Structure 1
Amino acid sequence: MAPYTIVYFPVRGRCEAMRMLLADQGQSWKEEVVSLETWMQSQLKASCLYGQLPKFQDGDRTLYQSNAILRHLGRTLGLYGKDQQEAALVDMVNDGVEDLRCKYLTLIYTNYEAGKSDYVKALPGHLKPFETLLSQNQGGKAFIMGSQISFADYNLLDLLLIHQVLAPSCLDEFPLLSAYVACLSARPKIKAFLASPDHVNWIINGNGKQ
């Protein structure tokens, strides 16, 4: 049996970073795909701690909240930096990813048509901190923090990939981020995952906007 189970909707959404992490780390997992109809009509929503998905099973442990799941996998699989100092920086990066992801989701779900132009104009200011962090770590030739990949790298990679769909030229003025995306996407197991039907055939967001 697969050690992990992801319970989520048939979208990439907030689970794609953890899927990339598991794939890259050679971990197997099971997907329990929940349709919107099932979600609205079944008792699943009421049974979830915060009334939302994803739900993540690690053996007999049940977790909610996508970033808590990523941190759990980071601790379990050795993806949380080599010491407490690096762990703190990894947390800082991941919180920065979450800040921008929340801005993105607000656009996608509440203001896409009217707000996309202004969002794209403001995007360089939101991406610049990640370029700065890369420049401070081995000249941008390693990962976002330290010399080993962390759970925050998968979350940042997912964030950058979905923004390249939203605004294809958004990384043109950020050479380190561009190289970072290319390097991580070329890791054999990530490359295979990104080419798989489970990634290619699933929409990014629940409302189909991207």
Structure 2
Amino acid sequence: MSGKVVLHYFNGRGKMESIRWLLAAAGVEFEEVFLTKREHYIKLLDDGALMFQQVPLVEIDGMQLVQSRAIMNYIAGKYNLYGKDLKERALIDMYTEGMIDLLDVIMLWAIETPENKQKQLSNIEQKAKERFMPVFEKGLANSDFLVGNQLSRADVHLLETTLTLQEIFPTILSTFPKIQAFQERMKALPRISKFLQPGSARKPPRDEDLIPTLKEVLSHYYK
């Protein structure tokens, strides 16, 4: 295993995108190996790299990490994006879990069949406006950051989440001025700005294009 950070996943957002965001915010360069054929997946299984027979897989510090939350926890802890103490970490975790819940709904919507996609849109918009965005707006009422006085993974995930929402609902933040100001501050950070530029490792919002590849690589799930 090389000393480089290597990501094994499909060439799309999915469960890996938040990991890419965290690594970018930490200033960590990484390589990506995209699963395009079932043989790639079988080789990872045969090599014993997939503890639960699932990706994403991240090679880092001589380890083969799986389970997206475990991967992100490790990266956040390693690169000082996880608060100054256990109390801050607990708050960061609560914010993060809420954002993961919302991103998971969006991810599932992106690969829905055409007849079901429209029905899911209003549900996503309502949840975002009524359940999630008010929490983050309140969290930013008196600080530039969601937790404490320094950048944490919660801030990185919030930028990713809100930008993803705006791809679907361009005006969704119109009644959340604190989040809008937060976005501008975050986008001005050099590492974040670099990740937002064309040609970066950030993936476009079309995970539905991955469905044929998913069905081939993970054919045992689609029988």
TM over 0.5: yes
TM-score range, shorter chain: 0.7 to 0.9
Q: CA deviation at 1:33?
A: 1.5
1:59 to 61, 65, 77: 61
Q: Is the 8 A contact 1:49 1:64 kept in 2?
A: yes
Q: Is the 8 A contact 1:39 1:45 kept in 2?
A: no
Q: CA deviation at 1:117?
A: 3.1
Secondary structure of the residue aligned to 1:30 is strand
Kindly provide the amino acid, as one letter, of the partner of residue 26 in structure 2: Q
Q: Give the aligned partner of residue 85 of structure 1.
A: 87
Secondary structure of the residue aligned to 1:143 is coil
Q: Which has the larger radius of gyration?
A: 2
Which digits, 9 at most, give the CA deviation of each residue in 1:79-131, with x for residues without a partner?
Answer: 11111111111111111112212222333333313221343244311321111
Matches of 1:98 and 1:148, distance apart in 2: 21
Q: Give the aligned partner of residue 133 of structure 2.
A: 127
Matches of 2:138 and 2:180, distance apart in 1: 13
Q: CA deviation at 1:3?
A: 3.2
| 162-171 vs 102-111, which moves further | 102-111
Q: Is the 8 A contact 2:25 2:156 kept in 1?
A: no
Seen in structure 2, the aligned counterparts of structure 1 residues 14 and 158 have a Cα distance that, compared at 3 Å, is farther
Q: Is the 8 A contact 1:2 1:28 kept in 2?
A: no
TM-score when normalising by structure 2: 0.80
Q: CA deviation at 1:14?
A: 2.6
State the number of aligned residues.
203
Which digits, 9 at most, give the CA deviation of each residue in 1:184-206, with x for residues without a partner?
Answer: 11211111111041346x33342
Secondary structure of the residue aligned to 2:83 is coil
Matches of 2:186 and 2:207, distance apart in 1: 26
1:3 and 2:9 correspond: no
Q: Which stretches in structure 2 are left out of the alignment for 5+ residues? A: 211-223
Matches of 2:8 and 2:93, distance apart in 1: 25
Q: CA deviation at 1:146?
A: 0.7
Matches of 2:171 and 2:31, distance apart in 1: 35
| 25-34 vs 159-168, which moves further | 25-34
Matches for 1:11-26 after TM superposition, within 5 Å: 11-26=12-27
Q: Is the 8 A contact 1:10 1:34 kept in 2?
A: yes
Q: CA deviation at 1:45?
A: 5.8
Q: Which runs of 4+ in 1 moved over 6 A?
A: none
Matches for 1:1-210 after TM superposition, within 5 Å: 3-35=4-36, 37-38=37-38, 42-44=42-44, 48-110=50-112, 111-125=116-130, 126-135=132-141, 139=142, 141-199=143-201, 202-208=203-209
Secondary structure of the residue aligned to 1:197 is coil
Q: Is the 8 A contact 1:134 1:177 kept in 2?
A: yes
